Amino acid sequence: MRPELKAPRESSGEPRPASAATAGLTLETPLVDVSRISRDRLAGLHRLGLRSVGDLLRHFPRRFEDQRQRLTLAQLRPGLTATVEVVVAELHPRRARYRHMELLQGEVEDATGRAEVIWFNQPHLRKVLHPGDRITVHGKVVRGTRGIPKIQNPEVERERRTVAQAKVGVLVPTYPETARVTSRWLRALIADLLPLADTASETLPPEVMEKESLLGLAPALRQMHFPEDQEALAQARHRFGFEELFFPQLAALLSRRQRMAKTGTRSPYEVNLAREFVAQLPFSLTDSQRRAAHEILIDLDRPSPMNRLLQGDVGSGKTVVAAMAARMAIAAGHQVVLMAPTEILARQHHETLRSLLAPFDIWPRLLVGSTKAAQRREILGGLAAGADRLLVGTHALIEDDVLLPLLGLCIVDEQHRFGVAQRLRLRDKAAANPDFLSMTATPIPRSLSLTLYGDLDVSQIRELPPNRRRVVTRLVEPASRDQAYQFIREQVAEGRQGFIICPLIEDAPGLEVRSATAEYERLSQEVLPDLRLVLLHGKMPARDKAERMRAFAAGEFDLLVATSVIEVGVDVPNATVIGIEGAERFGLAQLHQFRGRVGRGEHESHCLLFTDDQDPAGRARLQALINHSDGFDLAEIDLRLRGSGDPYGLRQHGFPEMRVGDLLDDGLRERARAAAERVLSRDPDLRDPILRRGIKGYQVVFEFD
């Protein structure tokens, strides 16, 4: 994924004299061939995604410790983030409420006093830490329960810093540790290999380097690991930050430029047809639906292929807009497909399109994994002959034997769940480049969408249909559980229905099914035996799920108990209450999606956030959900509340990780974009092999040749 470091572009004579540590090594040398790395540690490095010496030099420290700022335990105060050198006094492994979550609690001491420590989900620490060990911990200090401070989930360095390491200066790099790779060991290894940074060839073009006054690659690599001072570190970070914002935008702009140069299909904007479509709707369109439809219809009328994203909260009425686009493309003689990520969603779209387009004598076909062979043959025949014009389905519709000779418009729901590869297969079914309309209910703040979706034009629906009510959202503490169940019972007594979402169990979807099943049994036997409950989870066969969903929508059950895999977009207007168990474990975007399942009808709706977590950060997120109802606002808040790791959910979008760059830095992002535009105007096909290498990792998210 990450840009590789290659040997110098122009050979400037002999390579620099290598020290003993780097003899025979280059940046391309696989780590397996570096003799001083044992097999054991090699496995650890591989787990970190590091394969070559070059990768290692781009594995940047998580933070730097300023050696002048060491504290003693007596100096700790709640709210500080501190580094202390301590001795482990006692350790007590614990298991948390959810089985997979491990806690390690204990106390540490130094000459000045004691502190509590607690680690979450770091099982390897249990094996390597023992009372009496001298360790350095770095973490947030909170108020303890035993009259002494408490250090929460600190980073640990197991070995004592020796005098030899004084060579690293005041700013000591600290690397993320894994079971076999300690920060200290990495620091020493990288220090020895760092001279090879001088053989790295520059990845940014000279004119960009100059205009932006960026630090060269080699010195930047050195300063990232062993900075001379804060200023030098800031310059190095600026360079890599710029680079990380430059390449995705360059890739996106290239993709857009190449698309605009292609000829595709046209569907003329027939104003009368649009009016006729709107006139037969049982409601009037919202202003933002109107605007979005207009933008799409203008795109369809252009000869270049459309690539537009339609963003709007669950229930904002995207499908209606998509149906209008389908209507126009079909009137122009094209075939249209709508691809959804799951069978339930595909069925629902099929149903919606059928009722919206029946007045125009357009009859959508449905193709999913469970479609019977005979029926499938019949559908494929109708499509291949061009007689059927509208196909709705799951990825079953990209199979090779699905022929769509007239394909002109592809509508993809929840497009981030499909990759570029699937998209290309769809495109290849068409004779000419078809138009693409992607739909998503995942709100992406504008600051991010410029980069993440830089190759797309975006239409947003930012208002809900007027008959919608705000969903009343509240916390349910353990003590008020019974009241909450009573509330659900009352809703059902009034003829309404509800959902219960079971806790998210990361890394153990198997457990999720078990816990949902257990919750279903507990609720139906002990808590709500008087209600009709139905269970839905991801491990059920698709047919089963579809049948249960249908029965629930038809009112044959009162309460649907589901794992978090329950499909986005499910439309049951009679459902007015949704309870989310372990609410603090979900991201804001997902909670907002869940909440969107209710409030789709005429009745006041409620979202109950079950939680027993007191962590202030988790509370802040739930509070944001209570205070805000707009998905875009919540997405912005989520960005600011989320900490380290993958703060922008980039991996979910298939993006290479951003390690230094900050997508929220508008100024830098705009400079990087301007630089990418300049580069492209000089080299429109991006022939420069160095730049090609820089955008390679983005080929999974942006389409370019």
Residues that bind ligand ADP (CB under 6 A): 283, 285-286, 289, 312, 314-320, 465, 467, 569, 571, 600
Torsion of CA 550, 554, 559, 561, to 10 degrees: 0
Residue 601 CB, shortest distance to ligand ADP, in Å, is 9
Piece in contact with Mg ion (CB under 5 A), picked from 172-180, 270-278, 460-468, 562-570 = 562-570
596 versus 697: smaller Cβ distance to Mg ion: 596
173 versus 596: smaller Cβ distance to Mg ion: 596
328 versus 660: smaller Cβ distance to ligand ADP: 328
Judged on CB neighbours under 10 Å (0-12, 13-18, 19+), 59 is: buried
Residue 320 CB, shortest distance to Mg ion, in Å, is 9
Residue 355 CB, shortest distance to ligand ADP, in Å, is 9
282 versus 529: smaller Cβ distance to ligand ADP: 282
3-state secondary structure (DSSP) of residue 214: coil
Q: Which does 316 bind (CB under 5 to 8 A by kind): Mg ion, ligand ADP, none?
A: ligand ADP
Q: For 484-488, which contacts have Cβ atoms below 8 Å and span 24 or more sequence positions?
A: 484/579, 484/608, 484/610, 485/527, 485/528, 487/577, 487/606, 487/608, 488/528, 488/531, 488/559, 488/577, 488/579, 488/608
Q: Which does 467 bind (CB under 5 to 8 A by kind): Mg ion, ligand ADP, none?
A: ligand ADP
Rounded distance between C-alpha atoms, residue 399 and residue 414, angstroms: 19
Piece in contact with Mg ion (CB under 5 A), picked from 221-229, 485-493, 568-576, 675-683 = 568-576
Answer yes or no whether residue 569 interacts with Mg ion by CB under 5 A. yes
Rounded distance between C-alpha atoms, residue 338 and residue 412, angstroms: 6
319 versus 563: smaller Cβ distance to ligand ADP: 319
Residue 631 CB, shortest distance to ligand ADP, in Å, is 11
3-state secondary structure (DSSP) of residue 641: helix
Q: Which does 491 bind (CB under 5 to 8 A by kind): Mg ion, ligand ADP, none?
A: none
Q: Which does 315 bind (CB under 5 to 8 A by kind): ligand ADP, Mg ion, none?
A: ligand ADP
Residue 239 CB, shortest distance to ligand ADP, in Å, is 42
Residue 71 CB, shortest distance to ligand ADP, in Å, is 52
For Mg ion, the binding residues in 315-374 under the rule CB under 5 A are: 319
Judged on CB neighbours under 10 Å (0-12, 13-18, 19+), 643 is: exposed
- Cβ-contact 386, 406 below 8 angstroms: yes
338 versus 531: smaller Cβ distance to Mg ion: 338
Residue 322 CB, shortest distance to ligand ADP, in Å, is 8
Residue 468 CB, shortest distance to ligand ADP, in Å, is 8
3-state secondary structure (DSSP) of residue 354: helix
25 versus 320: smaller Cβ distance to Mg ion: 320
Rounded distance between C-alpha atoms, residue 600 and residue 602, angstroms: 7
31 versus 296: smaller Cβ distance to ligand ADP: 296
512 versus 571: smaller Cβ distance to ligand ADP: 571
Give the DSSP H/E element, type plus range, for residue 53. Answer: helix 53-57
318 versus 427: smaller Cβ distance to ligand ADP: 318
89 versus 274: smaller Cβ distance to ligand ADP: 274
Residue 310 CB, shortest distance to ligand ADP, in Å, is 9
Rounded distance between C-alpha atoms, residue 665 and residue 622, angstroms: 26
Q: Which does 451 bind (CB under 5 to 8 A by kind): Mg ion, ligand ADP, none?
A: none
The residue whose Cβ lies closest to Mg ion is 319
The region, left, alpha or beta by phi > 0 then psi within -120 to 50, assigned to residue 495 is left
Residue 575 CB, shortest distance to ligand ADP, in Å, is 13
Backbone φ, ψ for residue 441 (5° rounding): -100, 0
Q: Which does 523 bind (CB under 5 to 8 A by kind): Mg ion, ligand ADP, none?
A: none
Give the DSSP H/E element, type plus range, for residue 493. Answer: helix 481-493
Rounded distance between C-alpha atoms, residue 401 and residue 78, angstroms: 64
**Pairing outcome for strands 171-174 and 63-66:** antiparallel
Residue 298 CB, shortest distance to Mg ion, in Å, is 23
Q: Which does 41 bind (CB under 5 to 8 A by kind): ligand ADP, Mg ion, none?
A: none
3-state secondary structure (DSSP) of residue 93: strand
Q: Which does 283 bind (CB under 5 to 8 A by kind): Mg ion, ligand ADP, none?
A: ligand ADP
340 versus 523: smaller Cβ distance to Mg ion: 340
Judged on CB neighbours under 10 Å (0-12, 13-18, 19+), 184 is: buried
Residue 556 is encoded by which pair of tokens?
């044959």
Q: Which residues, listed in sequence order, are joined to residue 94 by a DSSP beta bridge? A: 103
Q: Which does 320 bind (CB under 5 to 8 A by kind): ligand ADP, Mg ion, none?
A: ligand ADP
Residue 652 CB, shortest distance to ligand ADP, in Å, is 20
- Cβ-contact 609, 591 below 8 angstroms: yes
DSSP secondary structure string for all residues of 285-352:
PPHHHHHHHHHHHHHHHSSSPPEEEEEE-TTS-HHHHHHHHHHHHHHTT-EEEEE-SSHHHHHHHHHH
Q: Which does 286 bind (CB under 5 to 8 A by kind): Mg ion, ligand ADP, none?
A: ligand ADP
Piece in contact with Mg ion (CB under 5 A), picked from 105-113, 177-185, 481-489, 567-575 = 567-575
199 versus 319: smaller Cβ distance to Mg ion: 319
Q: Which does 341 bind (CB under 5 to 8 A by kind): Mg ion, ligand ADP, none?
A: none
Q: Strands, E, within 31-112: which ranges? A: 63-66, 81-95, 102-110
The residue whose Cβ lies closest to ligand ADP is 317
Q: Strands, E, within 597-678: which ranges? A: 606-610
Give the DSSP H/E element, type plus range, for residue 32. Answer: none
174 versus 440: smaller Cβ distance to ligand ADP: 440
Q: Which does 314 bind (CB under 5 to 8 A by kind): ligand ADP, Mg ion, none?
A: ligand ADP
Residue 281 CB, shortest distance to ligand ADP, in Å, is 8
Q: Which residues, listed in sequence order, are joined to residue 683 by a DSSP beta bridge? A: none
Piece in contact with Mg ion (CB under 5 A), picked from 231-239, 266-274, 561-569, 674-682 = 561-569
Residue 600 CB, shortest distance to ligand ADP, in Å, is 6
Q: Which residues contact 618 (CB under 8 A, 6 or more apart)?
A: 584, 611
Rounded distance between C-alpha atoms, residue 457 and residue 66, angstroms: 45
Counting residues that bind Mg ion (by CB under 5 A) gives 2
Backbone φ, ψ for residue 64 (5° rounding): -120, 145
Which positions lie near Mg ion, rule CB under 5 A? 319, 569
